[in-house]
Amino acid sequence: MELKTVGIPRGMLYYRYETLWKTFFEKLGAEIRVSDSTTHRIAERGMSLTIDEACLSIKVYFGHVNELIGKCDYIFIPRICNFGRNRDMCPRFHAMYDVARNMFRNSGQKFLTCNIDVLGGEGELKAFLSLGQSLGCSVKSTLGAYKAAKKEEQRVWKKKVQKQKRLLEKDVLKILIAGHDYLIEDSFIGKPITDFLKKSGVLPISAGIVDRDTALKRSVDMSPTCKWQLNREIIGGIGMYKNKIDGIIFLSAFPCGPDAMVNELMLRRIDGLPMLNLILDGQNGTAGTETRLESFLDIIRFKRGLL
Amino acid sequence: MNELKKPKKKVAFPRYANYNAPIRYLLENGLGVRCILPPRLTHRTLEIGAKYSPDFVCTPFKILLGNMIEALEEGADTLVMVYGICKLGYYGELQEQILRDLGYDFDFVNLSEYDTGKVKDLFKATKYVNPQVKFRKVLKTLLEAVKMTDYIDEVTSEYYQNCGFETKKGAYKKAYQTFISNMYSANSKDEIERAYKKVRQAFSQIPISKPSQPLRVGVVGEFYTAMDQFSNFDVELKLAEMGVEIHRWMNVSNMFLHYPGEKNLNVRVKEFTTYQMGPTSTANIRSAKEYAERGFDGVIHVKSANCTPEIDVMPVLQNISADYKMPILYLTYDAQTSDVGLMTRLEAFYDMIYMRKKVVK
């Protein structure tokens, strides 16, 4: 088989599916090219390409897509609609592939996609089989690659959750960060915040790193009609971790629709914990955020009698 | 006897274009409850709604919340909220929480809670509103209410297509408003049919002078703002009155009653999108493309601030605009309360398409 380069933009679901995607494409013999960590330049480029009103995360994402244009045979952008009833994705993930196609249609770049819409009869396995087909691989090798990738994904995820559990047992100040992984782990958006917390002697815990099935069940107690898979995992995580932490930071990107609503509800429903609603809009300079974080930490320390 | 003991519930659904008429019809005649019609949307609605809503939720949330508060002030004791694929599916729970935190006391029917994929479960909601409800009666009234919705959309569509060309100013508006108020007071199938026939007759008798090739503008956009005259400052009427034929495919009956199905709609826009990008995306893209193919002079894209699916439609519309050389005006409505800025933009858009038509022709 002819070796193909598949480009993966480092943004949005990359943080969720890094292992799955990389292993899958590697097993099929494709060369993978992931865009570099977000820099100011990449973010800036994304902002100028995207419609003004779109959320910061998607702007950064298209900045990454732009980085890969012309540098690989395919750029991989999946379309994910839902994982079943009441397990929807934000409409942004329904549209991402088509938006990219329209945005970069004059570049001649080819895009690779797969469709996950469980309610519409398109599950993950079917999606990956179609991916293999688009790359010209046999069903057998695709299936093998998918199974291996899935196994690897589960292994890595379990390890991550285990590590989180150990962190939770530590006797230091712990702040739960309720936000999407593509925000928290992004070097331009969320990293400065977790870095600042660590520097201040506080342990940041990500609410989304959690046993996902349990979190989904738990989320129903927190908010019965919440239908967004990613938000359900996060609020389920809040429910599971809230007795082991000292405060919550709700981290969202301006103007993320689901977060705006879910976080508002959580702020109204959770009692007895210091909470900070931090909305990031990709401005330069972290001084403003740092001031807010400092005073938030002061409140927590004061509460615990450490100040 | 039971009815005497227990007073009827006073149910309210926030204002949504003219669709409160069929909703009222269904509630009063089908479910046998009292329908409290919330006050018309005003700046006050938007102001109190925006005051208590999270900052960057989409604007319809704020308007609906404000109107719910007004409905409670009017004496409603039960509020109904629908659900949808986008943020709409979460409106109910958050609105209820905000209203409860404000101290209001009411019953809340959040249809999102009944959304299990089975119609049977939705019917449970009607049982909650009125335990004595008869399934057959609800079904019968529902069909009549659907017919009413269909009529309202049909008449509204004709109204905006022609009202800019009437020779006697205000004739169309008068007939249209009489029809709408008849819909609000109708209590039987006959009354609906009669009012519909009356408005058809009235429309046909209004003298119009339309050029053989009038300026034609299509309106596409978000499911609430594109249809609700208050939310969009009646952008259609404003433009129509400048002498433009306004076409809008997007309405409730086209989306639910005459919808050709996602796959069959998508096939006509294959070159632009592979998948359904959001609840109304394919429909809007298809409409815009069709308007372009029919040689319309322009399209207006109407949406509220922070409407995710419609933001994603915009890059596609930009491409349609480029391919067919058809201007598109993008309008975003937030919690502003003045239409002066809108008027300026509309006038400029009108001047542009008017001059363009002269040159192109």
Please answer yes or no on whether B316 and A98 come within 8 Å at the CB atom.
Answer: yes
**Conformation bin of residue A305: beta by default, left when phi > 0, alpha when psi is -120 to 50:** left
By C-alpha distance, the chain A residue nearest B330 is: A51
Between A229-241 and A257-269, two packed helices, what is the crossing angle to 10 degrees?
30
Average pLDDT in chain B: 94
Other Cβ atoms within 10 Å of B360 Cβ, number: 10
Please answer yes or no on whether B112 and A225 come within 8 Å at the CB atom.
Answer: yes
Note whether A5-152 and A170-303 share their fold: yes
Integer CA distances (angstroms), B234 to B49, B160, B237, B249, in order: 20, 10, 5, 16
Q: What is the pLDDT of residue B359?
A: 77
Question: Exposure of A52 by Cβ count < 10 A (0-12 exposed, 13-18 middle, 19+ buried)?
Answer: exposed
DSSP character at residue A228: B
A65-108 pLDDT, tens per residue? 999 999 999 999 999 999 999 999 999 999 999 999 999 999 99
Please, which residues have CB within 8 angstroms of residue B29's CB and are 6 or more apart in sequence?
Answer: B141, B144, B187, B188
Q: What is the pLDDT of residue B1?
A: 44
**Conformation bin of residue B209: beta by default, left when phi > 0, alpha when psi is -120 to 50:** beta
B162-215 pLDDT, tens per residue? 999 999 999 999 999 999 999 999 999 999 999 999 999 999 999 999 999 999
> Closest partner residue to A102 among B83, B275, B319, by Cβ?
B319
Q: What is the pLDDT of residue A18?
A: 97
Integer CA distances (angstroms), B254 to A39, B20, B26, B154, in order: 46, 17, 20, 10
- Window B:300-319, CB contacts with A under 8 Å: 305-306, 308-309, 311-316, 318-319
DSSP secondary structure, B213-268, as one string: S-EEEEEEE-TTTTT-TTTTTTHHHHHHTTTEEEE---SHHHHHTS---HHHHHGG
Pick from B300, B299, B298, B317: which is nearest to B357 by CA? Answer: B298
Average pLDDT in chain A: 95
Residue range A166-192: mean pLDDT, rounded: 95
Q: What is the pLDDT of residue B124?
A: 87
**Does residue B2 register a pLDDT over 60?**
no
B304-354 pLDDT, tens per residue? 999 999 999 999 999 999 999 999 999 999 988 789 999 999 999 999 999
Please, which residues have CB within 8 angstroms of residue A63's CB and are 6 or more apart in sequence?
Answer: A11, A38, A42, A43, A44, A45, A46, A47, A49
**Does residue B117 register a pLDDT over 60?**
yes
Q: What is the pLDDT of residue B4?
A: 54
Sign of CA dihedral A214, A215, A220, A224: negative
**Does residue B5 register a pLDDT over 90?**
no
Q: What is the pLDDT of residue A1?
A: 52
Question: Exposure of B241 by Cβ count < 10 A (0-12 exposed, 13-18 middle, 19+ buried)?
Answer: middle
Q: Which helix (H) or strand (E) holds A110?
A: strand A110-112
- Window B:103-162, CB contacts with A under 8 Å: 110, 112-113, 116-117
Integer CA distances (angstroms), B169 to B239, B343, B346, in order: 15, 20, 21
Pairing of strands B244-247, A203-206: unpaired
In this prediction, residue B241 has a pLDDT band, given cuts at 50, 70 and 90, of very high
B8-133: what CATH class? alpha beta
Please, which residues have CB within 8 angstroms of residue B46's CB and are 6 or more apart in sequence?
Answer: B62, B63, B66, B335, B337
A230-280 pLDDT, tens per residue? 999 999 999 999 999 999 999 999 999 999 999 999 999 999 999 999 999
- Window A:187-226, CB contacts with B under 8 Å: 223-226
Integer CA distances (angstroms), B206 to B154, B201, B302, B310, in order: 17, 9, 29, 37
The share of chain B scoring above pLDDT 90, in percent, equals 84
Q: What is the pLDDT of residue B360?
A: 64
A15-65 pLDDT, tens per residue? 999 999 999 999 999 999 999 999 999 999 999 999 999 999 999 999 999
Q: Does B76 touch chain A (CB under 8 A)?
A: no
> Closest partner residue to B90 among A55, A226, A269, by Cβ?
A226
Residue range B4-31: mean pLDDT, rounded: 91
**Does residue A172 register a pLDDT over 70?**
yes
Please answer yes or no on whether B113 and A255 come within 8 Å at the CB atom.
Answer: no
A5-152: what CATH class? alpha beta
Residue range A214-228: mean pLDDT, rounded: 96
A269-294 pLDDT, tens per residue? 999 999 999 999 877 778 899 999 99
Q: Are A250 and A275 in contact (CB under 8 A)?
A: yes
Residue range B32-41: mean pLDDT, rounded: 95
Sign of CA dihedral B139, B144, B148, B151: positive
Domain chopping of chain B, boundaries = 8-133, 145-210, 211-361
Residue range A221-235: mean pLDDT, rounded: 96
Please, which residues have CB within 8 angstroms of residue A250's CB and are 6 or more apart in sequence?
Answer: A178, A179, A259, A263, A266, A267, A275, A276, A277, A278
**Conformation bin of residue B20: beta by default, left when phi > 0, alpha when psi is -120 to 50:** alpha
Determine the CATH number of domain B211-361: 3.40.50.11900
Chain B environment of A56 (Cβ under 8 Å) = none
By C-alpha distance, the chain B residue nearest A88 is: B85
B61-101 pLDDT, tens per residue? 999 999 999 999 999 999 999 998 889 999 999 999 999 99
Please, which residues have CB within 8 angstroms of residue B306's CB and are 6 or more apart in sequence?
Answer: A53, A255, A257, A260, B56, B57, B58, B59
Return the half-sphere exposure (C-beta side, CA atoms, 13 A cut-off) of residue B128: 16
Q: Residue A9: what residue type?
A: P
Q: What is the pLDDT of residue A184?
A: 96
In DSSP terms, which residues pair with B330 in a beta bridge? B301
Cis bond before residue A255 (omega within 30° of 0):
yes
Q: What is the pLDDT of residue B336?
A: 80
Chain A environment of B92 (Cβ under 8 Å) = 225
Domain chopping of chain A, boundaries = 5-152, 170-303
In this prediction, residue B274 has a pLDDT band, given cuts at 50, 70 and 90, of very high
> Closest partner residue to A260 among B54, B92, B98, by Cβ?
B54
Which site among A52, A98, A115, A118 would you substitute to test the B interface, given the most B Cβ atoms closer than 10 Å to its Cβ?
A98
Q: In this structure, what token pair is assigned to residue B334?
A: 């937030």
In this prediction, residue B122 has a pLDDT band, given cuts at 50, 70 and 90, of confident
Residue range A124-128: mean pLDDT, rounded: 96
Q: What is the pLDDT of residue B156?
A: 97
By C-alpha distance, the chain A residue nearest B112 is: A225
Adjacency order of strands within the sheet including B244-247: B244-247, B215-221, B298-304, B328-333
Architecture of domain A170-303: 3-Layer(aba) Sandwich (3.40)
The share of chain B scoring above pLDDT 70, in percent, equals 98
Nearest-angstrom CA–CA distance, B253 and B264:
17
